Amino acid sequence: MSADENKTNHEGASGGEGEANTSGLDFVRTIVTEDLASGKHDHVVTRFPPEPNGYLHVGHAKAICLDFGIAAEHADSRCHLRFDDTNPSTEETEYVEGIQDDISWLGFDWGEHLHFTSDYFHQLYGYAVTLIEKGKAFVDDQSADEIRANQGSLTEPGTESPFRTRTIAENLDLFTKMKAGEFDDGAKVLRAKIDMAAPVVAMRDPILYRIQKKTHHRTGDAWCIYPMYDFAHCLSDAIEGITHSLCTLEFVDHRPLYDWILDELETPAHPQQIEFARLNVSHMITSKRALRRVVEDGHVMGWDDPRMPTIVAMRRRGYPPQAIRDFCSAVGVAKRESLIELANLEFHVRQVLNKVAMRRMAVLRPLKVVIENYPEGEEELLDAVNSPEDPDAGTRPVPFSRELYIERDDFMEDPPKKFFRLAPGREVRLRYAYFVTCTEVVKDAAGEVVELRCTYDPATRGGNAPDGRKVKGTIHWVSAKHAIAAEVRHYETLFVDEEPNLDGDGGVFDAVNSESLEVINKAQLEPALGEAAVGEYLQLERTGYYCVDTDSSADRVVLNRTATLRDTWAKTAKKSAGNPPKAKNPNKKNKKKKKDSE
RNA sequence: UGGGGCGUAGCCAAAUGGUAAGGCAGCGGCCUUUGGAGCCGCCAUUUGUAGGUUCGAGUCCUACCGCCCCAACCA
């Protein structure tokens, strides 16, 4: 018989549709599905509401996938992109454009529903006037400091403003003058009249409008008063007919205010705010403030540096949008705060790349090999498969000649037990080419191996021996004469800790991994790589997934390593060497409050 | 110490009173012209703790413990 019971009881209201099957759905989709089944709504409208004051990051990707994803799952449903641009001092057109690019790239489409909270400034103003007329809002002359001081504490109630009892007429007059620009920034604010003793601080006469004589990136100087988030957001949702307004957990406390405003005013709709836990990924941060520090302090090349957790950066690094969507879908949606291991994201990146990346050969750290019984000056073209996952991708010719490069790591003078690659006297297969046997090791004065002399078996052309003999190892190679020199960039995580502590003495500086970028200057690529386009997904066989970086030009190839290949050899090698696991950065724990993390 | 949210494996996450899905990671094996990919198997006698209700509890009740959020004229 309680009100609560009525609120949560959807079944009775159903038009005999039967119960919705919500098994396995996350809690947000469960609510949406039940609302549809009960007839509360016959379609769903969601919205993704970024503030254009920075670039989108992996955490936003989750929200985007949720907001747009849910809309796409139901008939006649849609998701709006609405820029929450109520603070002209931090927002810029550059970000408006960047955010649209990111969402499109991720694979979502808002159709005709590109909106701006600033489009509603006039309506919002009208709602504010209505609130004043109802005696539910007043103009406060207190300074910011005074308001803060009178707010009370978490355990003590606040005290009412001395201006709280102004007449409606006076409030109307003052608010009109605020809008007309008759007062300075901070001189006055419009506040809701709710309850200074409310246990939820957000309900203690929250500020609705403040004066900011700033030029807005869209409305210019038309306004000098701007609505606060709490006032603008719920009303914008209502104006757009949003059915389910999804946001992160820190807004739970704001829900009573969201509902209060919509209950006090006559609006076209009363959307339901639903909060879910934000996405955290190990070794990444999602605080815009800290991200800006990382960029401004020069720890990275920019917002799109492949080590950044931003969407532009993941794009430049070579993460396919499908992988990001798969990842978001795999981590789920719940209210429990969590820290997803980076390995999870990388898994989805590899999973997609394995299917789409063209295979190529490249030698990162070259060791010269001379095939002594291969005629000088001769060369030939061998066929190499472009993708074992996609027969339609065909083959390409790869030039072979007497002098080759192989990976230094693929040779050991004194190999351990399970090393299957080249060693003195040992025979291996050069991928797609021939079996070769190492006959001599050439060293320089310092004892460094500088060259290998080998012989090849002409009968093994293509990689198979007619006599059926097997080799244990297959290594990649590149013809020295035909190779293209390139720069290859390898990345480690930008932060050394799983959960970087940004509040320590050194802040971001102490948290960043100073060895997160490794530049390899003279990698040798097979000729086909000279034609790869910027952004193209590649797998350098046996070494990893790469893509052509935007820094590349006609005469310079730069590759980014997107992800390594799973490397079981590295594991067994490490195991037999008894290497201890990497030490972790000790300066963790004592996390302090993180703000500005949306 | 006020209000709110949350505790299921190393990391995520399902299970709507009926006997703990799935994924990642890890471990073992098969296969392999990438030590890749793929395939097979193993990995929670138990859901923060302690009581209680019930034939039956991760689910309901009580108490306790722990973590997170809230005192911007930010969003």
Task: In whole angstroms, give the CA distance from residue A109 to residue A81.
Answer: 9
Q: Which residues contact A447 (CB under 8 A, 6 or more apart)?
A: none
Question: Which segment of A79-83, A467-471, A594-598 scores lowest on mean pLDDT?
Answer: A594-598
Copy the structure tokens of residue A79.
């998701």
Residue with smallest Cα–C1' gap to B6:
A336
Measured in degrees and rounded to the nearest 5, phi and psi for residue A123 equal -65, -40
Task: In whole angstroms, give the CA distance from residue A115 to residue A80.
Answer: 7
Give the nucleotide nearest to A207 (CA→C1'): B73
Span CA (A336) to C1' (B47), Å: 15
CB atoms within 10 A of CB A214: 16
Check A166, A278, A350, A402 and give the catalytic one: A278
| Average pLDDT score over residue span A374-397 | 97
pLDDT at A386: 98
Q: What angle do CA A362, A366, A370 make, to 5 degrees?
A: 105
pLDDT higher than 90, residue A508 = no
pLDDT at A12: 35
Cβ distance A57 to A286 under 8 Å?
yes
Task: In whole angstroms, give the CA distance from residue A210 to residue A135.
Answer: 19
| Average pLDDT score over residue span A344-352 | 98
Task: In whole angstroms, give the CA distance from residue A451 to residue A431.
Answer: 19
Span CA (A550) to C1' (B5), Å: 43
A172 pLDDT tier (thresholds 50, 70, 90): very high
Q: What is the ipTM of this complex?
A: 0.97
Span CA (A223) to C1' (B46), Å: 61
Task: In whole angstroms, give the CA distance from residue A388 to residue A392.
Answer: 9
Hunting for tokens 């932060």 — which residue is that?
Answer: A495
Q: Which residues contact A502 (CB under 8 A, 6 or more apart)?
A: A285, A287, A290, A508, A511, A594
* SS3 label, residue A273: strand
Show which positions of strand B are touched by protein (CB under 7 A): 1-8, 10-16, 21-27, 33-38, 67-75
The closest of A219, A245, A295, A220 to A54, measured between CA atoms, is A295
Asked if A51 is an active-site residue, the reply is: yes
Check A34, A51, A275, A526 and give the catalytic one: A51
pLDDT at A439: 98
| Average pLDDT score over residue span A120-148 | 98
- Cα dihedral angle (A328, A330, A334, A336), rounded to 10 degrees? -100
A18 pLDDT tier (thresholds 50, 70, 90): low
Give the nucleotide nearest to A198 (CA→C1'): B3
Measured in degrees and rounded to the nearest 5, phi and psi for residue A61 equal -60, -40
Span CA (A5) to C1' (B7), Å: 26
Span CA (A269) to C1' (B69), Å: 28
Q: What is the pLDDT of residues A209-242, one digit of tens each?
A: 999 999 999 999 999 999 999 999 999 999 999 9
HEC assignment per residue over A345-364: HHHHHHHHHHHHCEEECEEC
Span CA (A316) to C1' (B69), Å: 34
The closest of A206, A185, A186, A184 to A194, measured between CA atoms, is A206
pLDDT higher than 50, residue A283 = yes
Give the nucleotide nearest to A140 (CA→C1'): B73
Q: What is the mean pLDDT of chain A?
A: 93
Strand pairing class (A114-116; A137-140) = unpaired
pTM as predicted: 0.93
Asked if A288 is an active-site residue, the reply is: yes
More confident call, A51 vs A4: A51
A589 pLDDT tier (thresholds 50, 70, 90): very low
pLDDT at A7: 33
pLDDT at A576: 78
Copy the structure tokens of residue A2.
């309680």
Copy the structure tokens of residue A95.
């970000």
pLDDT at A578: 61
The closest of A500, A568, A558 to A532, measured between CA atoms, is A558
Give the nucleotide nearest to A412 (CA→C1'): B35
DSSP A199: S
pLDDT at A20: 80
Cβ distance A452 to A425 under 8 Å?
no
Copy the structure tokens of residue A505.
């003495």
Q: What is the pLDDT of residues A408-428, one digit of tens each?
A: 999 999 999 899 999 999 999
Q: What is the pLDDT of residues A264-282, one digit of tens each?
A: 999 999 999 999 999 999 9
* SS3 label, residue A558: strand
Q: Which residues contact A258 (CB under 8 A, 6 or more apart)?
A: A230, A233, A234, A245, A273
Q: Which residues contact A63 (CB under 8 A, 6 or more apart)?
A: A48, A246, A248
Check A288, A315, A426, A542 and give the catalytic one: A288
pLDDT at A582: 38
Span CA (A338) to C1' (B9), Å: 15
Residue with smallest Cα–C1' gap to B13:
A332
Give the nucleotide nearest to A185 (CA→C1'): B73
Span CA (A505) to C1' (B43), Å: 41
Task: In whole angstroms, give the CA distance from residue A417 to residue A426.
Answer: 13
Asked if A278 is an active-site residue, the reply is: yes
A584 pLDDT tier (thresholds 50, 70, 90): very low
| Average pLDDT score over residue span A448-457 | 98
Write out the H or E segment, with its range, that includes residue A455. strand A449-456
Beta bridge partners of A540: A360, A544
Give the nucleotide nearest to A149 (CA→C1'): B71
* SS3 label, residue A509: helix
Hunting for tokens 């992800």 — which residue is that?
Answer: A563
Alpha helices for A357-486 (secondary structure H): none
* CA separation, residue A98 to residues A95, A142, A289, A356 (Å): 5, 39, 18, 26
Q: Which residues contact A203 (CB under 8 A, 6 or more apart)?
A: A194, A195, A256, A257, A260
A14 pLDDT tier (thresholds 50, 70, 90): very low
